[in-house]
């Protein structure tokens, strides 16, 4: 069994390799086809109706999380948990706003809360398993890096030379590292079972997104994969929120 220090060292090396490999390549602009969805149908005057309303579960899940905030059995995790829940809730608004009128300008408001939620989750996992204690400076440093990466991408797009590299780093590096943290560092209070379920659901969500058009075709034009993806992603967020233990209501 590797020592804690060696496992932390592996995380550091993977992170360094990701940073170096990403920034030796050319800037990556946003693909215009990203805004094209298989199901653009309007209903009651709302464009992309199902891709918009399928964001409602994020509002519910974020609200449920905030209702648990004061009952967390690990007070040290409360700040990161609250930031994560606000991020999930605001994804419901930001993603709905984007899907009602998909463009780079509206995509900014989809990516901002999503990045905040991701960074808060990453901070929670680092504090529980890697750093041995929750650290508010780590939380806000990660959130600031995530927010800055989104604004940087938006700014470069406005200049006509879009650069997604920092955003891709803060999105996909935690996604690579968190499963490693989950299985290589001992569980303290975050539920391995629920976190594993969350990562599984997130993978399913990405597959639903990728096969958006195929699912729309197979369903006979009933629903696209992208709308179902929102529900799967919200289910993943639900698992994460309940992976953080809380006292019963009567305590």
User: What's the chain's length in residues?
Assistant: 251
CATH label, 4-243, candidates 1.20.120, 1.20.1070, 3.40.109, 1.20.1050? 1.20.1070
Dihedral sign for Cα atoms in the order 58, 59, 62, 65: negative
Q: Are 47 and 40 in contact (CB under 8 A)?
A: yes
Work out the angle at residue 117's Cα, subtended by the Cα atoms of residues 173 and 203, and round it to the nearest 5 degrees: 55
Q: What is the pLDDT of residues 190-237, one digit of tens each?
A: 999 999 999 999 999 999 999 999 999 999 999 999 999 999 999 999
Q: Looking at the predicted structure, is the pLDDT value of residue 15 above 60?
A: yes
Q: How far is CA 142 from CA 9, 56, 126, 162, 221, in A?
A: 19, 27, 11, 22, 41
99 is in an annotated binding site: yes
Report the predicted TM-score, pTM, of the whole model to 2 decimal places. Answer: 0.93
């Amino acid at each position: 069994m590797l020592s804690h220090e060696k496992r932390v060292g592996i995380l550091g090396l993977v992170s360094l390799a990701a940073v170096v490999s990403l920034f030796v390549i050319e800037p990556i602009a946003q693909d215009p086809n990203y805004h094209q969805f298989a199901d653009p149908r309007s209903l009651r005057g709302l464009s992309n109706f199902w891709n918009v309303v399928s964001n409602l579960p994020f509002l519910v899940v974020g609200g449920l999380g905030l209702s648990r905030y004061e009952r967390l059995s690990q007070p040290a995790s409360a700040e990161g948990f609250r930031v994560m829940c606000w991020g999930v809730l605001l994804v419901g608004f930001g993603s709905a706003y984007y899907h009602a009128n998909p463009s780079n300008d509206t995509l900014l408001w989809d990516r901002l809360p999503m990045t905040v939620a991701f960074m808060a989750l990453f901070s929670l996992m680092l504090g529980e398993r890697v750093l041995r204690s929750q650290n508010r400076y780590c939380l806000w440093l990660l959130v600031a890096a995530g927010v800055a990466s989104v604004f940087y991408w938006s700014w470069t797009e406005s200049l006509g030379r879009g650069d997604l590299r920092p955003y891709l780093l803060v999105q996909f590096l935690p996604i690579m590292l968190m499963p490693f943290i989950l299985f290589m560092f001992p569980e303290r209070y975050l539920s391995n079972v629920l976190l594993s379920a969350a990562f599984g659901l997130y993978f399913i969500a990405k597959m639903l997104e990728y096969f958006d058009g195929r699912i729309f075709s197979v369903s006979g034009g009933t629903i696209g994969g992208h709308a179902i993806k929102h529900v799967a992603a919200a289910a993943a967020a639900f698992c994460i929120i309940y992976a953080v233990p809380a006292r019963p209501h009567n305590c």
